[in-house]
Structure 1
Amino acid sequence: MSSIHSGGAAVRQVDPESREEGFAFTASGSEYFRIWIVNLFLSVVTLGIYTAWAKVRRNQYFYANTRLAGGGFEYHAKPLAILKGRAIAGLLIGGYSLAFKLSPVAGFAMVALMWAVMPWLLWKSLQFALYNSSYRGIRFGFGGTAKEAYLYFLVLPLLGVLTLGLLYPFAHQRVKRFQHTSSRFGNAPFSFDAAVGSFYKAYLGLFAVCVAAVAVVAIVLTTSFKADWIAMVVFGPLVLYPFILCAGWVFMTVLQNLVWNHTQLGDHAFRSTMRVTRIAGIYITNLLAIIFTLGLFIPFATVRAMKYRLECTSLIVNGNLDDFVAGQQAQVSAIGDGAADLADFDLAL
């Protein structure tokens, strides 16, 4: 499979003998509810300690119910590794809260420390998440370096702030490129070819929707309340919130399609076909159901959203996927357990 570029956008030339394999998600809301309610109860009675075990149970259930081309996924993480990561995150957050109570100097020093260590923590968390995930018995991996993590998770976001957001789309594209091109399945690397311009289009679309929403709400409130500025200040955010929420769903959908439609694994390409109207309908009904059930619909809502997102994603297989997987199995056996040290830390984000 090859690609050419036209007008800054990648146009893939797909092998006529290729086939499309869709992801299947067989989890059910009722099954996950039983896992969720037990996880919630034990997490509360253990003052949060059980959340590490809860995450492993949840992920093992979701991975086991995700299928691709007849093969299954597995999650291998150990709860104690997750607990370690959460303890470190808790110490950082607790230290941040305490530092500002002691003095402004201590507070800003703690902020600087958090900025300094966060890229490293995110880097380790990415390594952990991929190393502890497998498909057909072959583990994924992450080969990015700590130096790259500081560039993409610290330097570029700071440049985005300093340019008043003008470099955010550029930084976002570079972060996704780093994440995808540094990832691998066995020894086979992923690739990513989405252009920076496509991210700017997505952000401009979000900005336009938000500006339009603010303008419409302002006109409606001004017409309804005339010169009653207090009423407009009170009701403005309440009326605006649903519009901003919908804009966020639209943005999420556009980004998922953009990212995965420009990601490949060897000669195999991914395809995402999420629709804005469908995802908005799922999230709106999920939100209403969660409110009316006082939160008990959360596990059902999680499964509904995940099922749609996964089943809108597919793999365009170029050649024989079984031969590709078998080849990776043979290559991975040569590197043994060299990455085993990656399995001892997770930020658990």
Structure 2
Amino acid sequence: MQQEYGPSGNPINRPVISFKGDGGTYFGILIVNMLLTIITLGLYYPWAKAKRLQYLYSSTEMEGSRFEWSGTGNEMFKGFIIVVAAIVGYYILAFAIGALGLTGPVSGTLIALTYVFIVFLLIPYAIHGANRYHWSRTSWRAIRFGYRGDRTEFIKLWAKELLLTLITAGIYGSWMTMNIRNYLLRNLRFGSGEFFYDGDGWEYFKLNLKGCILTVLTLGIYSFWWQADIFRYYIDNIRLTSKDNKVLECRSTATGGELAGLLIVNMLMLVFTFGIAYAWIQIRTIEFVMNHVEIRGDLELRELRQTEEEYRNSTGENLADMLDLSII
């Protein structure tokens, strides 16, 4: 840690996060995962995901100590089977509707009910469950992360925010994004430390409106600066606090030009290697994020204590994968 002092004489802590992953090693993991997943007709997927996450987390270092992701393929396989069964059930329902010749109001009602179930209930259930499982399996120096959100409360929040977004033809989307993000991060714990997020829907709306207009006027060139602004807004509003009100804050140092360089090179690598360079692209991207996030404040990480419990139900994690959802 690089120690600095502020004007008041209080220490300004700067925990340094770095990524030590190697593209060649990660490529080997992905290749083996892909082959075993194909050979087992997809059944190896939970173990493949576990090996990938274990490598990425164990390659991430803060204050000289590596992170750990302790989830296992065995844990995730149980949730994986439940999700696969649900998907099979959905297709059986769709087949039954066709086989029975149901048309008109009956068919439309069943399809509408299925859509409402997926959008209003299944997606928030997946996000909530994924956060509970994923963070409980993440730790640093034996201090576990945790997510304390309430499932019913989150589903109600999701449904309300989604309805307002639909009613306003998408205009409320910025407020929905911030309110959902605020809820998830404010229920995230790092041992005895509590995360907070202070995103504001109006500010986020203005940021995206500006980005959209300038991207159109510059024929797409400004899109890199727009993405850098979004990244900065996501990062700069995160803080970790302790019970004695000490704080660590995150700050983004990424610029539009730097992000443009990363994304353009990544695209060229992907195109000219026919996708083979994907492992190196992901490693480059993670390194970019780690190198462009600063942490500062007066909270000493060694003051944090273990408070979180393990959570082994991985159904939400697998469901989030199937629905292509990402956790915070």
- Give the structure-1-normalised TM-score: 0.77
Does the 8 Å contact 1:21/1:317 carry over to 2? no
Give the letter for the 2:111 counterpart: G
Does the 8 Å contact 1:23/1:311 carry over to 2? yes
- How far, CA to CA, are the matches of 2:285 and 2:83 in structure 1? 28
Q: Which residue of 1 aligns with 2:59?
A: 65
Q: 2:235 aligns with which of 256, 260, 265?
A: 260
**1:312 is the counterpart of 2:284:** no
Structure 2 CA distance for partners of 1:275 and 1:82, relative to 1, 3 Å: farther
**1:321 is the counterpart of 2:314:** no
Counting only pairs closer than 5 Å after superposition, residues 328-339 of structure 1 correspond to structure 2 as: 328-329=305-306, 332=307, 339=309
- How far, CA to CA, are the matches of 2:116 and 2:299 in structure 1? 50
Counting only pairs closer than 5 Å after superposition, residues 138-153 of structure 1 correspond to structure 2 as: 138-153=143-158
Q: Which residue of 1 aligns with 2:36?
A: 42
Q: 2:45 aligns with which of 48, 51, 57?
A: 51
Counting only pairs closer than 5 Å after superposition, residues 40-119 of structure 1 correspond to structure 2 as: 40-97=34-91, 99-101=93-95, 102=98, 103=102, 104-105=107-108, 106-115=110-119, 116-119=121-124
Does the 8 Å contact 1:15/1:318 carry over to 2? no
- How far, CA to CA, are the matches of 1:202 and 1:32 in structure 2? 36
**Structure 2 gaps, min length 5:** 1-6, 242-246, 322-328
Q: CA deviation at 1:257?
A: 1.4
**1:184 is the counterpart of 2:189:** yes
Give the letter for the 1:254 counterpart: D
Q: Alpha-carbon deviations, 1:215-247, whole Å to 9, x = none? A: x5xxxxxxxxxxxxxxxxxxxxxxxxxx49x73
- What number of residue pairs does the alignment pair up? 297
Q: Secondary structure at the match of 1:49?
A: coil
- How far, CA to CA, are the matches of 2:195 and 2:35 in structure 1? 39
The structure with the largest helix share of the pair is 1
Q: Secondary structure at the match of 1:141?
A: strand
Deviates more, 1:119-128 or 1:188-197: 188-197
Does the 8 Å contact 2:238/2:249 carry over to 1? yes
Q: Secondary structure at the match of 1:47?
A: coil
Does the 8 Å contact 1:128/1:344 carry over to 2? yes
Alpha-carbon RMSD across the aligned residues, in angstroms, is 2.5
Q: Secondary structure at the match of 1:189?
A: strand
Q: CA deviation at 1:95?
A: 4.5
Identity %: 23
- How far, CA to CA, are the matches of 1:95 and 1:206 in structure 2? 42
Q: Alpha-carbon deviations, 1:162-181, whole Å to 9, x = none? A: 20111111111111111110
Q: Which residue of 2 aligns with 1:285?
A: 265
Does the 8 Å contact 1:21/1:69 carry over to 2? yes
**1:347 is the counterpart of 2:317:** yes
**Structure 1 gaps, min length 5:** 1-12, 217-242
Q: Which residue of 2 aligns with 1:157?
A: 162
- How far, CA to CA, are the matches of 2:9 and 2:92 in structure 1? 59
Structure 2 CA distance for partners of 1:81 and 1:206, relative to 1, 3 Å: farther
Structure 2 CA distance for partners of 1:15 and 1:342, relative to 1, 3 Å: farther
Q: Which residue of 2 aligns with 1:229?
A: none
Structure 2 CA distance for partners of 1:278 and 1:204, relative to 1, 3 Å: same
Q: CA deviation at 1:253?
A: 2.8
Does the 8 Å contact 2:82/2:315 carry over to 1? no
- How far, CA to CA, are the matches of 2:231 and 2:82 in structure 1? 30
Does the 8 Å contact 1:77/1:343 carry over to 2? no
- Give the structure-2-normalised TM-score: 0.82
Q: CA deviation at 1:15?
A: 7.2
Give the letter for the 1:59 counterpart: L
Q: 1:271 aligns with which of 251, 254, 263?
A: 251
Give the letter for the 1:347 counterpart: E
Q: Which residue of 1 aligns with 2:172?
A: 167
Deviates more, 1:299-308 or 1:278-287: 278-287
Structure 2 CA distance for partners of 1:284 and 1:97, relative to 1, 3 Å: farther
Give the letter for the 2:176 counterpart: A
